[in-house]
Structure 1
Amino acid sequence: PAEGFQRDRLYWRHSGSLVRASHGEDFYVHIPLPCFELVYVFLSYYISQTRNPQISTILANGGQWKYLTFLNLVLQPIFYGVAFLEDVLKRIKEKKDVKFITAFRYLLFTTLAFPVSAFVFLLFWILFLYNRELIYPKFLDVIFPAWLNHAMHTSILPISLAEVILRPHRYPSKKTGLTVLTVASFAYMGRVLWIYSETGTWVYPVFAKLSPVGLAAFFSLSYILIIGIYLLGEKLNHWKWGDMMLPKKKMK
């Protein structure tokens, strides 16, 4: 069968294999775009309008941009915006004309959007359940409603998992994927350390409780965790979509 619309279904061809998705599936994979945008816009507006003096304290020295949670809320709508743009262009252009956008979507999701959202979910709730004062002190409950906390730290994982299940993603080579993720990870760790060196305050309370050795161990374990998430995402993608979505050099 040819690529394009046929009996109200959309077909994509990947290296000789046919992937089929209904319009309904296309619609559902774009629902997260406005959801993340609304959370981001509401959070930004809420922060700007809240007169609680503690807001100024937690946003001092770097603002909301120092928090990985907030950066993730920016990253996710960027990814879903790229995915939406790709689907629109596929309907009005030849597939070969959107190859770059498709490749960028693959790279953005596999190396950043999925690993970061899963990392934020896991690390936040592990620390929260162990001792919430290390990551999300109780006084924040007065500032941020519970539903907003879950929008920032809970909903992100099931939405990313749904993306894995509903759409295939071609993972890059291990070298490329791990390089992109490593650069992003070290860039954020470097920013955290730079903020401390300039201001004498830590982004998260947990860091203030650690010795230099403990801090190095925490960063090392965090790096191992996010690399493990990346490799798990690759396994999940292969389990769901098979060999057709392996890096090209691995395909037979």
Structure 2
Amino acid sequence: MTLAIRRVYHIAAFSWYAFVVKILAAKDGEQLPPGIFVYGGPWKYLTFLNLLLQMLFFGLAALSDLQAGKKSESTLNRCKDFLFSVFAFPVGMFVVILFWAIFAYDRELVYPATIDTFFPPWINHAMHTLVLPFLLGEVVVQPHIYPQTKHALQALGGVGAAYLFWIIWVYLSVGIWVYPLLAHFSTPGLGGFFFFNMSVVALLYMLGNKLNSQFWSKDVTSRGQ
């Protein structure tokens, strides 16, 4: 893939995510519909955190494109590859897959119909659908060097545990779960559900690694995995 195409892709993706985040930020102060509560703001939603993650990654990727011709092992390139492989791809794919799976079963468990008066349908798809083609496009336009699997899964597990503690804190603070679905689980059920989710994220990490190595030559993508 030529550098020019890669630059255009990264700038376009970054601009898109920046635009969506700006639209969401502009909603601050508006009357919230039932199903959304104030405590924690948008920072309690994995969807919003994922948008920031994607915007950060594509911003780093665009900056990295400016270093064309320099050593591929630069700090910026290492950060970009780590961010994509360990977080942006598996978390982004997880948000899309889990959201639409639950939405198809019963949207009230994850995205109550009252929210449609607050977010138009295109915003819903911007948050929960277009993430997937952007990530798959990134696999195509540029190879990424993956870290050792055990280090990647440790990092994913740490971040996953931090988010789990955060949403539990929100619940203990206001007595409301961030996602209505969670109210239907017993305590053991919640533990099993979170373990299942982390297992899916780990599998998505390995899927990203597999796609990356299948699409690009091994000598470009490996780092002693």
- What TM-score, normalized to structure 1? 0.84
Assess if the C-alpha contact under 8 Å between 1:72 and 1:117 holds in 2.
yes
Distance in 2, Cα, partners of 1:179 & 1:148: 33
Per-residue CA distance 1:64-106 (angstroms, 9 max, x = gap)? 100000001111111111111111133xxx6139711000000
Measure how far apart 1:201 and its partner are. 1.2
* Structure 2 residue 210 is matched with structure 1 residue 235: yes
70, 84, 90: which one aligns with 1:115: 90
54, 57, 81: which one aligns with 1:79: 57
Measure how far apart 1:179 and its partner are. 1.3
149, 160, 167: which one aligns with 2:135: 160
Measure how far apart 1:198 and its partner are. 2.1
Determine which structure has greater relative contact order: mean sequence separation of CA pairs < 8 Å that are 6+ residues apart, divided by chain length. Answer: 2
For 1:54, the aligned partner's letter is P
* Structure 2 residue 41 is matched with structure 1 residue 63: yes
Distance in 1, Cα, partners of 2:4 & 2:159: 34
Structure 2, unpaired ranges of 5+: none
Measure how far apart 1:21 and its partner are. 2.2
204, 207, 210: which one aligns with 2:182: 207
RMSD: 1.7
Q: Which residue of 2 aligns with 1:48?
A: 28
Distance in 2, Cα, partners of 1:63 & 1:98: 38
The 4+ residue runs of structure 1 with deviation greater than 6 A are none
Distance in 2, Cα, partners of 1:133 & 1:245: 45
137, 158, 163: which one aligns with 1:183: 158
21, 26, 37: which one aligns with 2:7: 26
- What TM-score, normalized to structure 2? 0.94
Give the structure with higher Rg (CA).
1
* Structure 2 residue 145 is matched with structure 1 residue 170: yes
Distance in 2, Cα, partners of 1:237 & 1:54: 41
Assess if the C-alpha contact under 8 Å between 1:169 and 1:237 holds in 2.
yes
Structure 1, unpaired ranges of 5+: 1-19
Distance in 2, Cα, partners of 1:127 & 1:44: 26
Q: Which residue of 2 aligns with 1:88?
A: 66
Assess if the C-alpha contact under 8 Å between 1:89 and 1:98 holds in 2.
no
Q: Which residue of 2 aligns with 1:4?
A: none
Q: Which residue of 2 aligns with 1:16?
A: none
For 1:131, the aligned partner's letter is D
Larger strand fraction of residues:
1
Identity %: 38
